Amino acid sequence: MFRTKLTWIVLIALVWTSMLSFGGVAAETVMLYPNIFADPPASLERAREFIIAGGPSDYFPPLGASVVVSSLAATVLTWRDRGLRWWLAGAAATFLACEFLFSAVFFWPRNEIMFVDPVGTHTPEYLRQVAAEFVAGHWVRVAGGAVTAVLAFTALLRRARVTAPGAPAGAGTAR
């Protein structure tokens, strides 16, 4: 009984955090990016001045950690359930690949160049190139966040279907 309740809690947490993460990336895309990347390097300097008290780097790392923890916990808790296993493993793998690994390899170095290195360190042409690369690569995060949220939500719906009162026998092996 405890494992069943824990599984529900973890699945709901995963859906909630993955949707918050995707929604945050989507909002950032339409509200912040047009201002930040409008006219590098001037727009990058304005962004440095604006994003002082808080910014994406304050929001996404703890949220991303909660998506990773809840997706791994959900995968472990449902591993014996073939009807859920691959939905959750896919959500975890997609998030880790598109949000964490891709960010660490691709975005973090570009963030350093655009927002951490002292102003004037890089030429305007180089900053425009780095900003264009950042915006183009951002679509990997958007797609990864969407796929993660859809996979997690699908797993939650499948779990609800097989554990609902009156579910047909053999509809799944929810544990």
Quick: pLDDT tens for 3-16.
Answer: 899 999 999 999 99
Residue 42 lies in a domain: yes
Residue 175 lies in a domain: no
pLDDT tens for residues 15-63? 999 999 999 999 999 999 999 999 999 999 999 998 888 888 899 999 9
Three-state secondary structure of the chain:
CHHHHHHHHHHHHHHHHHHHHHHHHHHHHHHHHHHHCCCCCHHHHHHHHHCCCCCHHHHHHHHHHHHHHHHHHHHHHCCCCHHHHHHHHHHHHHHHHHHHHHHHHHHHHHHHHHHHCCCCCCCHHHHHHHHHHHHHHHHHHHHHHHHHHHHHHHHHHHHHHHHCCCCCCCCCCCC
Which of the four pLDDT bands, split at 50, 70 and 90, describes residue 169? low
Which pTM does this prediction carry?
0.88
Residue 54 lies in a domain: no
At 175 the pLDDT is 44
Rg over alpha carbons for the chain, rounded to the nearest Å, is: 20
Residue 173 lies in a domain: no
Residue 170 lies in a domain: no
Domain range enclosing 137:
2-49+60-163
Which of the four pLDDT bands, split at 50, 70 and 90, describes residue 174? very low
What string of DSSP letters covers 127-175? HHHHHHHHHHHHHHHHHHHHHHHHHHHHHHHHHHHHHSTTPPTTS----
Question: What is the Cα–Cα distance from 155 to 78, expressed in whole angstroms?
Answer: 10
Residue 118 lies in a domain: yes
Overall domain count for the chain: 1
Residue 172 lies in a domain: no
At 170 the pLDDT is 52
**Nearest-5° Cα angle at 143, 141 to 7:** 90
Residue 90 lies in a domain: yes
